[in-house]
């Protein structure tokens, strides 16, 4: 399985990369929504972690576009925006899950497990 980590913070991308154990055969990084779209087209990741507040193209806009070109990709949003309306809006745009920053490695892995298991049982 391939994972794409989208976040404008290098430290958060590195943290997610370090936390995800060895479930993924390939891990790719993108700094914003626009770059994420290019990686999706070229490399077709199975799972994407998506930040929301990013320059150039926001996470929600990117999710909307990714769903059109790769509808089977599982996306979960990892954002500091902690209000319920943001989580609901992300799911409405097509994300499969939501994790609030700051997060622990256990919370991240459990969120990834959940969306992968949903895919397997669908």
Return residues touching another protein (CB under 8 A). 8-12, 14-15, 18, 53-55, 79-83, 85-86, 89, 100-104
The one-character DSSP state at 103 is -
Residue 15 vs 74, nearer CB to another protein = 15
Residue 2 vs 103, nearer CB to another protein = 103
Q: Tell the smallest beta-carbon distance from residue 120 to another protein (Å).
A: 30
Residue 10 vs 41, nearer CB to another protein = 10
Q: Give dist(CA 12, CA 85) in Å, integer.
A: 23
Q: Tell the smallest beta-carbon distance from residue 53 to another protein (Å).
A: 5
Q: Could you count the other beta carbons within 10 Å of the beta carbon of residue 104?
A: 9
Q: Tell the smallest beta-carbon distance from residue 62 to another protein (Å).
A: 14
């Amino acid at each position: 399985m391939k994972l794409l980590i989208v976040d404008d913070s290098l430290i958060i991308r590195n943290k997610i990369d370090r936390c995800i154990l060895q479930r993924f055969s390939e891990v790719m990084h993108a700094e914003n929504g626009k770059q994420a779209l290019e990686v999706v087209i070229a490399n077709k990741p199975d799972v994407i972690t998506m930040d929301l507040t990013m320059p150039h193209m926001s996470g929600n806009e990117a999710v909307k576009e990714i769903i059109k070109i790769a509808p089977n990709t599982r996306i979960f949003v990892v954002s500091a925006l902690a209000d319920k309306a943001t989580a609901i809006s992300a799911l409405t745009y097509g994300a499969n899950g939501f994790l609030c920053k700051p997060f622990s490695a256990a919370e991240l892995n459990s969120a990834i497990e959940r969306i992968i298991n949903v895919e397997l049982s669908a």
